[in-house]
Copies of this chain bind each other. A is one copy, B any other.
Amino acid sequence: MSFKVSATYQGARAASLATNHGILQTPFFMPIATRGAVKHLANSDFATIQNQILLANTYHLYLRPGLEVLKKCGGLHGLMNWQKPILTDSGGFQVFSLAALRKITPDYVIFNSHIDGRELKFTPELSMEIQAAIGSDIQMCFDYFSGYPATRKETEYSVKLTTAWAKRCKYYLSLSSGHPSPNRGGKEGEVFGIVQGGTFPDLRKQSAQELVNIGFNGYAIGGLAVGETPQEMYTMIEAAVPELPADKPRYLMGVGQPEQILEAVKLGVDMFDCVLPTRNARHGQVYIHPSPLRRGEGGEVVAPDLSMVNYQKINLTGSVYATDLQPLDSYCQCSTCTSGYSRAYLRHLFSVNEALAQRLATVHNVYFYVQLMRDIRAIIMKSSHL
C-alpha cells in the first residue's frame, strides 16, 4: 500500500505516501510550478527549501511547451531536471476559469486558449494523456468546476459531470495499453478524484461517495478558496472528509493562509498547494515569526498542541523598513534570512522594481510554508495517539 498513516493527533495525521519519484511525508505543501517553474526559483533554491514535491498544471503545459516537447524531453522531470515527485492539476479549473469557454458537453469542452485564442478541445482522456506525457507522479481526474457563486442546479451538474469524467479517466488508465508514460518509468502514477459540490454539504458528500465508489489512490477537495468564507470552506471539508477512506491521502486544492492550512490538517487533510506564498512575495508581502517557536535541542518543535501557527504578514514596500537592518525574519533559516540580507535592502529592491526582490522574498515565503508543514508534522509525530 502506498499510503500509510503513522501518527494522528487532534484529528490531524502524519503519513507517508509512496510515488514513482520517492516517498512523501505528510502533511506537506506543494510550491506551485504552474508552467514548469516556481516563479523566480531555481533547483538550487529547492535544495535549501527542501520541499518534497512540486505542483504543475496540465492546461498550461499543454499549451506550452506542448505534448511533443514533453514527450521528447523526458516529461517535466526531464525538462526541469527535478527528480522528486510532481503532482499535476488536471486543467479542469483552468479551462473553466482562465480560458474563454465556447462549448461544454458531457463528452468534451471546447474553449479558446488564454494565450493566443486558438480553439482547443479538452476531454478527460486528453487530460490523462497530457499528465502521462508530463510524467506526473500524482495526477488529477479532469473535473468540472461550476464557478463561484453557483446555484444548486449548476453545482449538481458539476458533480454529475465530475463523476462521469472521473470514470472515463479511470477507464482510460485501465486500458490494456495502460497509458503508463515512459516519462514515469512505465508506471501509472497515482490518480486522484476531485470532490466538487460547491457550498452544498450534501452535494459534497454525494460527490465524495461517487468518487470513492469508482476508487482512486487519493481524493482531492476542489472548488474551494474561490470566494466563500473560511467557515463555509471548513464546513465543506467536514462534509467531505468522513466519506473519504481513512487509508487514502486527502488533498485540499488551493488553500490557503497558514491558519487555514492548520485548520484543514486538523480536519484530516494531508496535502496542500496555494499561490499565496509566491504571489504575496512578488508584491513584497512576507510571512514572519513575531517570536520563535519553542524548539528542542535537535531543532524539533516543542508545542503543547497544534495552536502553534503564530505569524505576522509584513509589507516590505513600506518606508518603515527603509533603514531596518534586521533580517526579514530572525527566526527563519531560509537562505534569504541567513545570508545577511536586511529588510532595508529588500525594501530598496522592491522600490526600484528589481527582480531580485521577488526572488529573495519568494525563497523566504515558500520556505516559511514548507517549514510550517514540517513543524506541524513534528508535533503530530511527537503527540500521536497511535
Interface residues of A (CB under 8 A from B): 35-37, 39-44, 60, 64-65, 68-69, 72-74, 78-81, 322-323, 325, 335, 339-342, 344-345, 348-349, 351-352, 354-356, 358-360
Q: Is the CB of B360 within 8 A of A42?
A: yes
Instruction: Please measure, in the bound complex, the distance between the C-alpha atom of A65 and the C-alpha atom of B349, giving whole angstroms.
Output: 9
Instruction: Please measure, in the bound complex, the distance between the C-alpha atom of A351 and the C-alpha atom of B63, giving whole angstroms.
Output: 11
Q: Is the CB of B323 within 8 A of A72?
A: yes
Q: Is the CB of B43 within 8 A of A340?
A: yes
Question: Apart from A64-B352, A79-B342, A355-B358, what 16 extra A-B contacts exist at CB < 8 Å?
Answer: A35-B348, A35-B352, A36-B354, A39-B355, A40-B359, A41-B356, A42-B356, A44-B335, A64-B348, A69-B323, A73-B325, A73-B344, A78-B325, A81-B339, A81-B341, A355-B355
- Given B40, B44, B325, B352, which contacts A339 in the complex, CB threshold below 8 Å? B44
Q: Is the CB of A339 within 8 A of B43?
A: yes
A12 to chain B: closest CB distance in Å?
A: 34
In the bound complex, residues from chain B placing their C-beta under 8 Å from that of A322 are: 65, 69
In the bound complex, residues from chain B placing their C-beta under 8 Å from that of A348 are: 35-36, 64-65, 69, 79
A31 to chain B: closest CB distance in Å?
A: 13
- Given B60, B340, B352, B359, which contacts A81 in the complex, CB threshold below 8 Å? B340
Q: Is the CB of A42 within 8 A of B323?
A: no
A171 to chain B: closest CB distance in Å?
A: 31
A336 to chain B: closest CB distance in Å?
A: 8
Q: Is the CB of A39 within 8 A of B358?
A: no
Closest B residue to A324 using CB positions: B73
In the bound complex, residues from chain B placing their C-beta under 8 Å from that of A339 are: 42-44, 81
A323 to chain B: closest CB distance in Å?
A: 4
Instruction: Please measure, in the bound complex, the distance between the C-alpha atom of A155 and the C-alpha atom of B68, giving whole angstroms.
Output: 58
In the bound complex, residues from chain B placing their C-beta under 8 Å from that of A351 are: 64-65
9 A–B contacts, CB within 8 A, in A order? A35-B352, A36-B345, A43-B339, A43-B340, A64-B352, A79-B342, A79-B348, A355-B358, A355-B359
Q: Is the CB of A37 within 8 A of B73?
A: no
Instruction: Please measure, in the bound complex, the distance between the C-alpha atom of A354 and the C-alpha atom of B74, giving whole angstroms.
Output: 20
Instruction: Please measure, in the bound complex, the distance between the C-alpha atom of A359 and the C-alpha atom of B362, giving whole angstroms.
Output: 14
A206 to chain B: closest CB distance in Å?
A: 38
Q: Is the CB of B359 within 8 A of A42?
A: yes
Question: 9 shortest A-B CB distances, which residue pairs?
Answer: A81-B340, A72-B323, A37-B354, A35-B352, A65-B348, A37-B356, A40-B355, A79-B345, A64-B352
